[in-house]
Structure 1
Amino acid sequence: MRDNEVQVSFEFFPPKTEKMEADLWQAVTALAPCAPRFVSVTYGAGGTTRERTHKAVARIANETALNAAAHLTCVGASQTEVLKIAEAYWAAGVRHIVALRGDPPDGSGKFQPHPDGFENAAALTRALKRLAPFEVSVAGYPERHPDSPSDQADLDNLKAKIDAGADRVLTQFFFAPEAFLRFRDRAAAAGIGGEIVPGILPVVNAGQVRKFATACGAAIPPELDRMLEGLDERPEMRPLVAAMVAGTLCQRLYAEGVRQFHFYTLNRAPMTQALCHLLSCQQKDISSAALSGR
């Protein structure tokens, strides 16, 4: 990869209805020309979307040239059950797993391992690597996982996942570039090697984003909070503000040397297409400057 070359990946969620399935497939098709390294499909809390996730991942793997990755969690299943799911993915041609501890269904309290299950994502990663030569991505939290007692405990957990064989870290979304840059520096100081890829979530729906941010511990900067105020009542303005906010974030990260980006698409293509275009233009601008000797 050249120093200025941008690589992207996309996350989708499994559809619940035929209409949502059509929307998902439309988004996958529209985003394929952006040449993502991989596209992933999420796994619902408590394993609630297991069959739908498998169906969506298998379809992407079988009907497109995209590298499909399946989310897999430790929640609500024994180790044997989880590894059987992984074996089914391998048989379907899926070679990339996003290994997560996972969250229990809404309202059921904090995570409790299944009596015969994996206790955390590090244990799941280790087992997947023993099962087959999967490519494994894991989660990282620039602003600390809500269940972590301290920043250091969070870093220790992340290092355990990397030491277990994880190939890269995909971060939870964030809205202040400094949150990611500090996290990247702390991870490097802790001896955590490999890729740390920022997760980017465009602010398409203000209420939804506030809910997501509260659940995962992501801070909304005051200036962004002011921009979000009243936005849901003005739908014509939402894509404009979302593009400005996410575009500015990506540009700042690019200026700080970030070249891999993971986009939470929410199964919508236009915003992610626009951000990929922006990054491509920035990449070309830097290449042109280098060639001209500027």
Structure 2
Amino acid sequence: METPNFSIEFFPPKTAEGVEKLRVVRQKLGELQPKYFSVTFGAGGSTQQGTLDTVLEIMGEGHQAAPHLSCVGGTRASIRAILANYKAHGIKRLVALRGDLPSGYGGAGELRYANELVEFIRAETGDWFHIEVAAYPEMHPQAKSPQDDLQNFARKVKAGANAAITQYFYNADAYFHFVDNARKLGVDVPIVPGVMPITNHMQLARFSDMCGAEIPRWVRLKLASFGDDSASIKAFGLDVVTELCERLLAGGAPGLHFYSMNQAAPTTAIWQRLVTRQET
């Protein structure tokens, strides 16, 4: 089996203090030698400059970096300009997403779906970019059905995506089932599981409600039972997520993509435990 590829996601900081904090976090996570870091892109391109600044800093530190790019709220001309800018800076990886409409936005933009964005990137830049797209093992919250969602995913890959990163989940079977069904549709690109460390019960519940990720009942009840005991929440979360990662890798997942939330400790703890167990 090929060596798994690990990657780590950040969001662009909005304050000078946040920028400094992320530099420290990045230095610690950089020691883990991930394949690349990805940097999110705000709704309607609201963090566009921050995304680019963060990506360029990461590249300046000697790491590969992939900016996220969403098409919602953008025009072909604006996306073309972003692509040209990324290319001029030597950026070779992209995470291409439909994205969410920011509040107050009137229309979806000229490109409505991620498959149209991938098609546009390929038409404009050929094979310059390695393109990752999103996948939803538990179904995108706005999809009509799992079958529809799977077809949407296949369209993105057929438009020219090289690989996919999933929404986070805590049910390994959902991932394996999704991959099996995608393969039946002729999708043969790597589908990398997205991993969300568990460090805060209320924050996790809020995120999961927003993005349609299911927290298994037994996990929710256990987390709720700890109340404000953050040490117990983190210890339990580390056990749950490490075991999930081990099962995913043992089952053939091509790597792991960590949603770091701009923190070093949770991802590092999972990573170190995975490495330790593989060595024993």
TM value normalised by structure 2: 0.94
Aligned residues: 278
Aligned to 1:49: 47
Shift of the alpha carbon at 1:50? 1.4
Q: Tell me which of 251, 255, 258 is aligned to 2:253.
A: 258
Shift of the alpha carbon at 1:250? 0.7
Aligned to 1:290: none
- For the structure 1 residues 230 and 20, does the alpha-carbon distance in structure 2 shift closer, same or farther, using more than 3 Å as the test? farther
Q: CA contact under 8 A between 2:191 and 2:253: conserved in structure 1?
A: no
Shift of the alpha carbon at 1:65? 1.3
- For the structure 1 residues 125 and 48, does the alpha-carbon distance in structure 2 shift closer, same or farther, using more than 3 Å as the test? same
Is 1:65 matched with 2:58?
Answer: no
Q: Secondary structure at the match of 2:268?
A: helix
Q: How does 1:16-27 map to 2 (within 5 A)?
A: 16-27=14-25
Q: Secondary structure at the match of 1:104?
A: coil
Task: Give the stretch that moved more between structures: 172-181 or 276-285.
Answer: 276-285
Shift of the alpha carbon at 1:258? 2.0
RMSD (Å), alpha carbons:
1.7
Aligned to 1:10: 8
Task: Give the stretch that moved more between structures: 24-33 or 250-259.
Answer: 250-259
Counterpart code for 1:7? N
Q: Secondary structure at the match of 2:193?
A: strand
Unmatched runs of 5 consecutive residues or more in structure 1: 286-294
Is 1:249 matched with 2:244?
Answer: yes
Q: CA contact under 8 A between 1:205 and 1:232: conserved in structure 2?
A: no
TM value normalised by structure 1: 0.90
Distance 1:278 1:240 in 2: 12
Unmatched runs of 5 consecutive residues or more in structure 2: none
Q: Tell me which of 27, 30, 35 is aligned to 1:29.
A: 27
Q: Secondary structure at the match of 2:77?
A: helix
Shift of the alpha carbon at 1:73? 0.3
Q: CA contact under 8 A between 1:202 and 1:245: conserved in structure 2?
A: no
Q: Secondary structure at the match of 2:166?
A: strand
Aligned to 2:96: 99
Is 1:199 matched with 2:194?
Answer: yes
1:60-116 C-alpha deviation (Å, 9 max, x unpaired): 12x21111100000121111101211111111121111000001125x69x9521xx
Q: CA contact under 8 A between 2:137 and 2:175: conserved in structure 1?
A: yes
Shift of the alpha carbon at 1:4? 6.2
Shift of the alpha carbon at 1:29? 0.9
Q: Tell me which of 122, 126, 144 is aligned to 1:129.
A: 122
Q: CA contact under 8 A between 1:60 and 1:68: conserved in structure 2?
A: yes
